[in-house]
Amino acid sequence: MQKIVYLIPKPILFGLLGALGCVLGWAAGEPLLKSIKPPVPKAGEEAKGQPAAPVLVFSNELQKRLRREEAKTGDVQISLMWDNFNDLDLHCREPSGENINFSHKRSASAGELDVDMNLRPPYSNEPVENIYWPTNGSPEGRYQISVAHFERHSSVDETAYTVAIKQGGKVQEFRGTIRQGQTKAVHTFVMNKAPSADLAKLNHRQPPSFKTTLVIGLWTSLLAVGMAALIVATQNFLVRRALFSVKEAAIVLGGGVLAGLISGAVSQHLFALGANSLAAQLSETNAERVLPIIFKTGQVAGWSLLGALLGFGLAFFIPNLPKFRAGFAGLIGGGLGAAAFLLALAKSGEVSGRLVGAAILGLTIGVVVALVERLAREAALIVHWGGNERSVINLGAVPVILGSSPEAHLYLPKHKGFPPITAIVTFREGRVQMENKLSNSTHTLASGNKLQIGDLWIEIQTDTK
C-alpha cells in the first residue's frame, strides 16, 4: 500500500482523498439533514398533513419532475409526487365547489390539472401531477386538497407521497402514505388576494430558520473535516511523520467546523435575506423563476467560500504552499464542485445528488490545491526513501526542518540517533541554504546536489519549471 501511494501523482492522490473525505462526511451528515425534514407517517397511520417549515421553492426533486413534464405555475400551484408505478390522483376542490381531478381537468375559473401520470402505460416510477391557476386567475376562497390511490400497477400497495402547495407567497410540503382505494385529505387553505399595493408583503418570504442554517452548516463541516483530515494525514505520511499530532487534529477539526459553518451560513442565510429583498420587488410568477437562480448562486458562493477556506487552511500543513494562491485555487475548486453538485441534484434524487456533488467537491479542491503546490514550486527538496519511493517538499522562505521533532517537516527517526532538529533548509533570493545542526555549519547548495542522511538521500532541485 505504501509503495502505491508514492506512485500516484500528487494531484490525483489529493483529488481521490478529497473525494473520499467528502463521501465519508456525507455519510455522517445525512442523518443530520433528516432533522429538518418533515416526518413520514408510519405504515398504517393516518396522514395528518403536518406541514414542513415554509420554504422558498419546491424541493429539487419535485422541481426536476415538474420541469420534465413542462408543468405550469401561477398564483396557486399544487403538485403531487410519489416513487412507484401506482396511479395516485391529485384532487382540488376550489372555492366554487368544482373538483379538479383526472376526470374533470379544467374548471370554469381556469384551474387546470395539466400533468396527470400513471393512468395508462407507459408507467413511470418517478411520477408527478400538477394543478395550477394562471397568474391573477385564482379565485378567492377555500381550497381543499386530497390524494386518492386509484389503481395499483406495482408489487407495492402502500405508497408514500409528497404534496407541495404554493399560495400566498409561500410553499408548504405535506407527506403521507396511502393504500389502493383510499382518499386522504391533505390540506385546506383560504386564498385571499392582496391588493396590488401590498404585493411586496405578499412576496415576503422568511429566510431559513437558525436550526436549518445550523444543520446545513454542520453537514458542510463534516465534508470539510473529512476532506482536510485525509489530505493532511496523507501529506504527513508522505514525509514519514505521525499522521496527526494533537495540535494538528485540533486545527483540522476546529478549522473544518468553522469553515463549514461560515460557508453554510453564507449559502443558506445571507442569500435568503437577499432573495427576500428581491422577491419583494417582483410579481409572484417572476419571483418563482428568479428565486431558484438566486439560491443556486448562493450554493455556488457558499461552496466556493468553503473551498477557499480549506485551500488556505491546507497551506499551514504543506510547507511553502502559498496561502492565498491555495485559497484562490480552493475557491475555483469549490465553485466547480458546486456546479457539479447542482447538476447532480438536477439529474438524480436529492440524496444521491448530494453524494455525487460532495465527491466532486472534494475531488476538485484536492486536485487544484496539489496543482498550486506544483506550479508555485521554485525549488524543492527531493527525499529518496529507497526503491521508487520519494517525497517532494517545496523550498521557500519558510524554513523546512529535518529531524526527529514532531514539528519537523521531514521526520528522521529518533531511534537512529537524529536530534529533534537535524537540519534546516531555506530558499531565498535564488539560493538554497542548509544549516546543519550536527556539524554547526551552513552550506549553499546547488541544483542537483545530493546529500546522504542516515540511509536516505536528499536531492536539491531548483530548476523545477
Parallel/antiparallel/unpaired status of strands 389-395 and 379-386: antiparallel
Element (DSSP H or E) covering residue 106: none
Predicted confidence at residue 288, as pLDDT, reads 58
Q: Does domain 60-192 have CATH number 2.60.60?
A: yes
307: which residues sit within 8 A by CB, 6+ positions away?
330, 331, 332, 333, 334, 335, 337, 361, 364, 365
Predicted confidence at residue 118, as pLDDT, reads 92
Helix (H, G, I), strand (E, B) or coil at 311: helix
State the cell numbers at 319. Answer: 510547507
Predicted confidence at residue 349, as pLDDT, reads 63
Stretches where the chain sits below pLDDT 50 are: 40-56, 195-205
Q: What are phi and psi of 195, to 5 degrees?
A: -65, 155
- Residue 27 CA to residue 436 CA, distance in Å, equals 48
- Residue 354 CA to residue 356 CA, distance in Å, equals 6
Q: Would 60-192 and 379-461 be classified into the same CATH topology?
A: no
Tell me which amino acid residue 241 is. Answer: R
Tell me which amino acid residue 345 is. Answer: L
Predicted confidence at residue 193, as pLDDT, reads 62
- Residue 102 CA to residue 95 CA, distance in Å, equals 18
Alpha helix (H) residue ranges in 144-206? 199-202
Predicted confidence at residue 278, as pLDDT, reads 58
Find the farthest-apart pair of alpha carbons in the chain and give their distance in angstroms, rounded. Answer: 97
CB 94 within 8 A of CB 107: yes
- Residue 304 CA to residue 337 CA, distance in Å, equals 8
Parallel/antiparallel/unpaired status of strands 87-93 and 141-151: antiparallel
Predicted confidence at residue 159, as pLDDT, reads 94
Predicted confidence at residue 207, as pLDDT, reads 53
Q: What is the pLDDT of residues 264-308, one digit of tens each?
A: 777 766 666 655 555 555 555 555 566 667 667 777 888 888 888
* Assigned fold of 379-461: Tumour Suppressor Smad4 (2.60.200)
Q: What number of CA atoms fall less than 13 Å from residue 100's CA on the CB side?
A: 28
Domain boundaries, the chain: 2-33+207-375, 60-192, 379-461
Tell me which amino acid residue 378 is. Answer: E
CB 237 within 8 A of CB 271: no
